[in-house]
């Protein structure tokens, strides 16, 4: 079980527990995630050894667009069953770059998965912006 798995389990065990919820979201924003990339040539997941692909893979399900994210390279490989080219970005950057209407699908294919809805991502963006503003105030002192 990874640290994000443990925090998610605690959050799911008691969703009304503010500390568990805050711990999960704090860890999410500070965790580096692997994002499978899109290969424009094949129209699918970018596979192989490196390359210049820089577009995150967005998958559609039930009329919603999902950016696939994983907290370990092993989980990406288990999900894709092949060597996938990935970007690595912290959760805070993921929410900042998320477009309106985008969902995040974390650790798909594991028992520790979570889907983030657009309203949740918008709230997380506000948290990141507020945190950055507070960091700037501290640096200015």
8 burial type by CB count under 10 A (0-12 exposed, 13-18 middle, 19+ buried): buried
Domains in the chain (CATH in brackets) are: 32-132 (3.40.1350)
Q: Which residues contact 76 (CB under 8 A, 6 or more apart)?
A: 34, 36, 70, 84, 86
- What pLDDT shows up at residue 134? 72
Helix (H) or strand (E) holding 105, with range, is: strand 102-106
Count Cα neighbours of 81 within 13 Å in the Cβ-side half-sphere: 1
Spans of the chain, pLDDT less than 70: 41-54, 135-141
């Amino acid at each position: 079980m990874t640290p994000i798995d443990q925090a998610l389990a605690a959050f799911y065990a008691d969703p009304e527990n503010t500390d568990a919820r805050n711990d999960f979201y704090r860890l999410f924003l500070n965790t580096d995630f692997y994002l499978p990339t899109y290969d424009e040539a094949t129209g699918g997941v970018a596979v192989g050894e490196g390359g210049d692909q820089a577009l995150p893979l967005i998958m559609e399900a039930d009329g919603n667009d999902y950016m696939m994210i994983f907290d370990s390279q092993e989980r990406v490989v288990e999900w894709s069953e092949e060597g996938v080219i990935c970007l690595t970005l912290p959760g805070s950057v993921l929410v900042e770059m998320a477009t309106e209407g985008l969902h995040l699908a974390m650790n798909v294919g594991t028992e520790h998965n979570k889907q983030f809805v657009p309203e949740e991502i918008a709230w997380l963006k506000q948290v990141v912006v507020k945190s950055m503003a507070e960091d700037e105030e501290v640096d200015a002192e």
